[in-house]
Each structure stands twice: as C-alpha cells, then as structure tokens.
Amino acid sequence: MTAAQSPAPQARGPQQGRETWTSNRGFILAAIGSAVGLGNIWRFPGVAYEGGGGAFLIPYLIALVTAGIPILFLDYAVGHRFRAAAPLAFRRMWRRAEALGWFQTAILFVISTYYAVIIAWSLSYFYYSFGTKWGERPDEFFTGDYLRVGEAGVSGELVGTVAWPLIGVWALIIVILALGVAKGVEKLNVIGLPLLVLGFAALVIKAVTLPGASDGLNALFTPQWDKLSDLNVWIAAYSQIFFSMSIAFGIMISYASFQKRKSNMTSSGLVVGFANSSFELLAGIGVFSALGFLAHEQGKTYEQLDGLTGPILSFVTFPRVISEMPGSAFFGALFFGSLAIAGFTSLISLMLGVSVAFQEKFGLSRTSASVTVGVVAAIVSFGLFATTTGLLALDTVDQFANNIGIVVSAIAMCVIAVWVARTIETLRAHLNAVSTFKLGWWWVPVIGVYAPLFLTVMLVQKIYDLIVDGYEDLPTWYVGVFGWGTVGFLFVFAAVLTAVGWKGRDDPSFTPWPIVGSGPSSAESKESVR
C-alpha cells in the first residue's frame, strides 16, 4: 500500500478513544520521570567511580550516543507507529515478534516487584531521618533491626517495618494506574518531577559546601585512563545507559503509543536523554561530595571508604553521612524523599507497561487491568522481597533481570526491526515525518549492526562470568533458583502469553498513520500491515 492509497488516517477500532498525554510536555516529563530513578542516584556514581572516574565519561558518552539515543528512538518509533504496548506493537510490526513484547513485559513485572520494596525502604528511612533512628551503627541497623536479614534461602517471614510502607506504595500505584495516562501518570510526574529536581538540587548544594567535598569530587572525576582498555568498563557503561534510560524494556514503546499523531518524537528523545544524563551527573556530584565529607569526618582517606553503590550506599553509607552532619534531619529527608519520588515515577512506568499490555491482549478495562496486575505484582513483592530473605533475593534477581534479560531484549529488538521484519526504513521515515530532528542513514547501521554486535559481546562475557564465577559467593542452588530461575521465568512468561489467544484488541484493520511530509514515501510500500 502506498501512502497515496492509504485509507484516511481515521482512528478506528481500539484506536478510537486511545488515551493521550495532554501535551508533548506531559510526555517529556513522564519519560524523564521514568528514566530518572534509583539507577541515577545510587548506581551511576559508584559505577562511574569504579569505571575510571573522569575517564568513565568517555565510554559513558559513547554508549549514550551509539546505543542509548538510537535505541530510544527505536522504542519511540515502534510505539508511535503501532500505537500499542510492546506485545501488540511488535505483533503489528511482525506477527511473531509478539513474544518479544511479552518478554519485555515479563522484565517489567519482575523489576517492579522489587523496585517497590526499595521505595518502601526509602519511605521508612525518610521517617527515620527525623531523629537519626539508625543510631551509631547504620550497617547493623539496616540488615539487623530494619530488615532482619536471614541466611540465603527463602523465608515466608514478613518484615513488618518493610511491609507497612509497601502496602502504601502498591495502593498508590494501583490508584494512579486506574486514573489513566493523563489524569494519573502525567499528573504524578507533573507534580513529582519538579519536586524531585528542587529537593535534589538543594541536597547537592548542601553537599558540595561540606568540608571534604572536594576530595570526594576529585576521587570521582580524576581520570584513570588505563581503565579504558578494560572491556568490563565498557560493558558497565552500556548497562548503565540501558537501565538508566529505561530503554529496550517496552516502557518507552507504551509511553510513545500515547503520543498524539503530530508529535515531535526525536527532539523529545534528545531532551529526555540529556536530561537523564544531566541528573546522573548531578547525583554523582552530590553523592561524592557527601562521601568526601564522610571520609573527612572519620579521618580516613577516600579509598578506605566502602559501600559505594546500591542499597548499601543509600541505606548504610548515607545514613552515616547524615549522622555526622548538623541539621541532619533535613538532609536525610531530602535524600530519602528524592529516592522515593524518583523511584515512584519509575515504578509507575514499569506498571503502566504491564497493565496496558494486559488490557490490550485480554480486552480488560483500565480499572480491572490496573487492579489485577497491581495486586498480583504486590503479592509477589511481599512474598519474595518483604521477607527476612528479601535483600539477597532482590540483589540476585536484579543482577540477572538486568544484565541478561535486558540485553537479550535489546539484541532481539534490533535484529527483528532491521533484518527480520525489515521495518527500519519505514520507522525512520515515520519518525522523520513527525519530528524536527531528522534521523540520517547512520541510524540504520547503528541499530542493525553496531548495537547488536556490541551487545552480543557483552552478553556472552556476562554469561561466561556468571557461569564460571557464580554470583557473589552465593550457593549454587540459590543462584540457580533466583538468578537463572528469573531468566527462565522471562522466557516461560513470554511463551505462555504469546500462546494464549487474543481476546482483546488485535484489530486486523489497524493501519499505521500514513507517512506524509518528508522521508521516502516508497518506504511504506515495503511494509505489510499485519
């Protein structure tokens, strides 16, 4: 079908009444809200430090430009052209690609079940900041008094201090999901994101003025050039970009699917990408200034500090910083409040992706999908991660879902779009027809050749390491169940949901918007609409 022969671009079937963001600004805010999360605050600073400090900015920026931004555009193109969450959008691109959409949905589901728990911890610690309840030994407090950590295993024993705030997190998520895209998700971001930026900026300003801050910043930014020859540093840079930008998870597909027809997609993508990286740098400055202060107060050198990333950075090292500080309650509240808001605006994006996928496949209403999906995720979240064995399970599941799941997803997405469904030129023409920043020819080889090759190297290396070295000295059975079990779950979930028949909105008459404006209109004739 050529552009000229295409039927008028009327909305039809399920498209009729598809929700939209109220404006492009709403979309951009929501997309930044999804991207800016725990990954920016607790992951980036430590990864950058270990990856060569100032020198790490080189692989990081290369990863941003050669994978982050191009794959973000691919997500946008698929979502905006095929107007659905990942499973249906991929199905419309190429019938069999539906499975990839469910694979991504499975990753979202898994991540959301533990991400919510970290938000619950942050809420508890927000409260504990008033009065520095963690006392003299924040390490013992976190794993002992607060989480009551048990041996590596599975215990059904709920930890009340985690479970209570967790109920609040899930209740709020379900309500916001049920309110929908414009009234729920967009509103949350319109309120949450400015609050986050203000609160976090205040925190960083305070942090850089502390004694010792400059030592921390020197530690973060002094380049160690020799690290650049280490493949693992490059892999860390690419992983950071993927997780941080929320790409190849299907989230940006559903977010883009709620954009109106005339939406400046690529320019918005550039804004989102650079905003996310800027926040990441800001977090690096804030966190390392605070760590410099801690070393200064404790009369240590910077190298003697430990616990520089992840949960330990936030819930052990940071409480130490807070305790050392005059006016600490305020600083603590800013830090844990920022963590909670940043996490919440990301969690909503994870759950929206899952909920819309189920609405479309099973013809569910928004409310029933939100409640069903929310309750199931909440139950898993309580059962696995709010228990005395939750911390370890969380760490292991996170490692495998992110390092293996997401890389498999990204490779499959690139290969299918370019080599199997052969829709990449259409997607490029589509983006160029609606956007002011035009994608040149370079986008196709980046998506079709460079990204999948590099990601494959990355995947092989990671799998090899995990098989040979295991994970974190954990017992093999444990890594088998929680680590490889997670990967297995992703595949099984994808297979089962693909096999189930469509009850909902697989509208055979779906027609993508015709590509008018710029770009080769012949590109569209290469595509068959399935």
Residues that bind ligand PHE (CB under 6 A): 34-35, 37-40, 111, 243-244, 246, 249, 251, 346, 349-350
Minimum distance of ligand PHE from residue 116's CB (angstroms): 12
Minimum distance of ligand PHE from residue 402's CB (angstroms): 8
CA distance 413 to 60: 22
Kindly give the interhelix angle for 328-362 and 187-208, rounded to the nearest 10 degrees: 150
Minimum distance of ligand PHE from residue 172's CB (angstroms): 17
| Of 196, 519, 181, the residue nearest 339 (C-alpha) | 196
| Cβ atoms 197, 41 nearer than 8 A | no
Minimum distance of ligand PHE from residue 476's CB (angstroms): 28
Residue 39 or 512 with smaller CB distance to ligand PHE: 39
Please report, in angstroms and rounded to a whole number, the separation of the first and last CA atoms in the chain. Answer: 12
CA distance 69 to 63: 9
Minimum distance of ligand PHE from residue 419's CB (angstroms): 26
CA distance 354 to 87: 10
Residue 39 or 216 with smaller CB distance to ligand PHE: 39
Minimum distance of ligand PHE from residue 113's CB (angstroms): 13
Residue 32 or 58 with smaller CB distance to ligand PHE: 32
Residues 6+ apart with CB under 8 A from 403: 239, 462, 466
Residue 105 or 389 with smaller CB distance to ligand PHE: 105
CA distance 428 to 500: 32
Both tokens of residue 280?
């990441």
| Of 357, 369, 295, 303, the residue nearest 104 (C-alpha) | 357
CA distance 297 to 349: 40
Residue 170 or 249 with smaller CB distance to ligand PHE: 249
Residue 113 or 246 with smaller CB distance to ligand PHE: 246
Angle at Cα 56 formed by Cα 50 and Cα 57, nearest 5°?
145
Minimum distance of ligand PHE from residue 159's CB (angstroms): 23
Kindly give the interhelix angle for 98-129 and 406-415, rounded to the nearest 10 degrees: 140
Minimum distance of ligand PHE from residue 150's CB (angstroms): 27
Both tokens of residue 421?
């469904």
| Of 247, 174, 193, the residue nearest 30 (C-alpha) | 193
As a dihedral over the C-alpha atoms of residue 514, residue 516, residue 522, residue 526, rounded to 10 degrees, the angle is -30
Residue 146 or 279 with smaller CB distance to ligand PHE: 279
Minimum distance of ligand PHE from residue 36's CB (angstroms): 6
Minimum distance of ligand PHE from residue 356's CB (angstroms): 14
Residue 39 or 390 with smaller CB distance to ligand PHE: 39
Minimum distance of ligand PHE from residue 87's CB (angstroms): 16
| Of 225, 354, 287, 255, the residue nearest 24 (C-alpha) | 255
CA distance 158 to 453: 44
CA distance 482 to 487: 9
Residue 128 or 243 with smaller CB distance to ligand PHE: 243
Residue 42 or 134 with smaller CB distance to ligand PHE: 42
| Cβ atoms 385, 114 nearer than 8 A | yes
Residue 186 or 527 with smaller CB distance to ligand PHE: 186
Cα separation values, 515 from 1, 10, 264, 278, 428, Å: 11, 14, 14, 34, 10
CA distance 168 to 441: 48
Minimum distance of ligand PHE from residue 488's CB (angstroms): 20
For residue 296, which phi and psi values (nearest 5 degrees)? -60, -50
Residue 124 or 346 with smaller CB distance to ligand PHE: 346
Distance of CA 432 to the CA centre of its chain: 26
CA distance 83 to 1: 19
